[in-house]
């Protein structure tokens, strides 16, 4: 590996967030390198740490994670390695380099039993392996790296990768009636908005300074109205019809979580309270998921047109 200094290293290159970061950081970052599995395999934390120390970036962005919530129940060691040990390795490297670390986490660190949205300092209580390993990653970053931003987000979707929006579009092309869970609540979040926030954060902060525009700590990077999976699906189908991706929306019936059992327990109401300080940053996205959904489906519609003879 080259020893040429880099200003920013992004762990992850092909996921939803990484794909958006490639565009957002290109507008603000003088030098950014994306590390995929061939460069930094997160299942080998010691090698990740060594590679980061050799590259010596000023900022590290961890945009990769093990996100297979149900599969994590049968692969706890793998989920732990990627979601807990790899962030710990990145945090140790960042601390030794005096670098800033951006780490993305999840609403699954909460149990979803509270009626009110969760503030940044609310007690955590994950219900399954995925949430537990993500919480462990948070704790490692918080403990090992003084200059860190932990950005919790929820229900992330995009025109890239695998996510609920693209799954719904696929199912809508195959079925005329769908049954979607209607008793789990949350805030959908467009990955492009998270990427824009991170780009603004990096552009307006001195990685070597102790007084960044947004103080180091844990923040909730989400916003917009609270919804359910069923209501989100209905909005996806309506927007897809407007974008020309569907001729007509399928019928959608709401079901309970009990009607759709999964290996991992889902939090019923792990709604994140948006961080006001974060939203007040200069040129920060407003996290309007309706706008994000329209943007994602517009991109997918353009791709569909381009493939049509």
CA distances from 125 to 112, 122, 237, 284 (A): 9, 10, 34, 30
User: What is the C-alpha R_g of the chain?
Assistant: 19
CA 9, CA 72: separation in Å to the nearest integer?
27
63 neighbors 103 (Cβ within 8 angstroms)? no
230 neighbors 180 (Cβ within 8 angstroms)? yes
240 neighbors 205 (Cβ within 8 angstroms)? no
CA 301, CA 98: separation in Å to the nearest integer?
44
Burial environment of residue 254 by CB neighbours within 10 A (0 to 12, 13 to 18, 19 or more): middle
Catalytic residue among 66, 108, 118, 130: 130
Cα atoms in the Cβ-side hemisphere of radius 13 Å centred on 100: 23
Q: Which helix (H) or strand (E) holds 9?
A: strand 8-11
Active site residue 130: yes
- For the annotated catalytic residues, the residue numbers are 130
């Amino acid at each position: 590996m080259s020893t040429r200094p880099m200003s920013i290293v992004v762990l992850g290159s092909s996921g939803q967030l990484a794909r958006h970061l490639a565009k957002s950081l290109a507008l603000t970052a003088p030098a950014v390198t994306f590390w995929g599995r061939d460069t930094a395999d997160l299942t080998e934390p010691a090698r990740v740490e060594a590679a980061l120390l050799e590259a010596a970036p000023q900022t590290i962005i961890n945009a990769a994670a093990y996100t297979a919530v149900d599969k994590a129940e049968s692969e706890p060691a793998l989920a732990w390695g990627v979601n807990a040990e790899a962030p710990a390795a990145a945090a140790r490297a960042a601390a030794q380099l005096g670098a800033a670390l951006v780490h993305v986490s999840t609403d699954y660190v909460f149990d979803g039993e509270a009626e009110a949205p969760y503030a940044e300092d609310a007690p955590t209580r994950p219900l399954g392996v995925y949430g537990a390993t993500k919480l462990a990653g948070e704790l490692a970053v918080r403990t090992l790296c003084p200059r860190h931003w932990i950005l919790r987000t929820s229900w992330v979707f995009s025109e890239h990768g695998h996510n609920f929006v693209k799954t719904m579009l696929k199912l809508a092309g195959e079925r005329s009636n769908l049954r979607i869970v209607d008793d789990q609540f949350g805030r959908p979040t467009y990955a492009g908005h998270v990427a824009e926030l991170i780009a603004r954060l990096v552009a307006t902060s001195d990685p070597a300074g102790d007084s960044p525009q947004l103080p180091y700590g844990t923040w909730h990077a989400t916003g917009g109205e609270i919804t359910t999976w069923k209501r989100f699906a209905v909005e996806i189908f309506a927007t897809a019809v407007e974008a020309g991706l569907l001729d007509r929306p399928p019928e959608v019936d709401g079901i309970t979580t009990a009607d759709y059992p999964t290996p991992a327990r889902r939090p019923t109401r792990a709604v994140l309270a948006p961080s006001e300080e974060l939203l007040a940053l200069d040129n920060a996205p407003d996290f309007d998921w309706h706008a994000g959904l329209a943007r994602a489906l517009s991109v997918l519609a353009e791709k569909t047109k381009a493939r049509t003879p």
